[in-house]
Amino acid sequence: MLLQVVFLLGLVASPILGLIGKCSQPMSDSTTIYDFSLPNIFKTGTINFADLRGKVILVVNVATYCDHTPQFLGLNALQKEFGSDLQIIAVPTDQFHYEEPGANGTEIMNGLKYVRPGNGFIPAFPLTAKTEVNGIHEHKMFTYLKKYCEPTDELFYPGLTYQGNKVHDIRWNFEKILIDRTGKPVKRYNVYVLPADLRDDIRAQIQGAEQHEHKLPVLGSFIG
């Protein structure tokens, strides 16, 4: 409870950069999320982001025993609402107040099902194996995603389990990074931005791509 109060006071008192950060990747960098992969939650296979080409992707770092874990319900709702146009990928991490103690996929999935959110909850999207999102051992995908996205807070909160804070670090569980249909990050959301608040941005990415695809044949008719 004290940690949450400190977090909320920080949101009020600090000149945070806004709850939503813009992402801007220079044309000179051809890296995309498709260059990366992560083991799945049970380490029985690999989540290859290259297999998600053409979809809008939402990457969320998650934890089972966090005050924000009920956001899993909202993430499920987003996945079901947008269907195959959207792919949410949840990345469990234990770097914030040890809020993901699960030693393996079975423990993590059972925690979600029976404890929090509980009531038989089953994610409607894939989870990766536990992954470090900050620090010297952070996964290179997060190094890439954070590099071109504005941080959504200037403060670092008590309970970090890694050393070497950097300005672009993920600040807590349930930050979210939205990736467009070309595989590049477009927006980054603070933990206090609820999944439902992402609907318009997700829809804009989906519809923007659809409109572009629809216009291509029309442009081609003038060229040929």
| Assigned domain for 223 exists | no
Rounded-to-integer distance, Cα 129 and Cα 125, Å: 13
| Assigned domain for 42 exists | yes
| Assigned domain for 7 exists | no
Asked if 165 contacts 154 with a C-beta cutoff of 8 angstroms, the reply is no
Structure tokens at 111: 């925690």
| Assigned domain for 1 exists | no
| Assigned domain for 82 exists | yes
pLDDT tens for the chain, 224 residues long, are: 444 444 444 444 333 347 999 999 999 999 999 999 999 999 999 999 999 999 999 999 999 999 999 999 999 999 999 999 999 999 999 999 999 999 999 999 999 999 999 999 999 999 999 999 999 999 999 999 999 999 999 899 999 999 999 999 999 999 999 999 999 999 999 999 999 999 999 999 999 866 544 443 333 322 22
Rounded-to-integer distance, Cα 97 and Cα 1, Å: 12
Give the CATH number of the domain where residue 164 resides: 3.40.30.10
Structure tokens at 74: 């909202």
Beta strands in the chain (DSSP E): 20-22, 37-39, 46-48, 56-62, 86-92, 176-179, 185-189
Asked if 196 contacts 186 with a C-beta cutoff of 8 angstroms, the reply is no
Q: How far is CA 60 from CA 9, 25, 126, 213, 214, in A?
A: 24, 20, 11, 28, 30
Rounded-to-integer distance, Cα 63 and Cα 102, Å: 9
Q: How many domains does the chain have?
A: 1
Q: Give the domain extent around 87.
A: 14-216
| Assigned domain for 8 exists | no
| Assigned domain for 222 exists | no
| Cα of 80 vs its chain's centroid, Å | 17
| Assigned domain for 184 exists | yes
φ, ψ of residue 159 to 5 degrees: the values are: 105, 5
| Residue numbers annotated as active site | 66
Q: Do β-strands 46-48 and 20-22 pair in parallel, antiparallel, or remain unpaired? A: unpaired
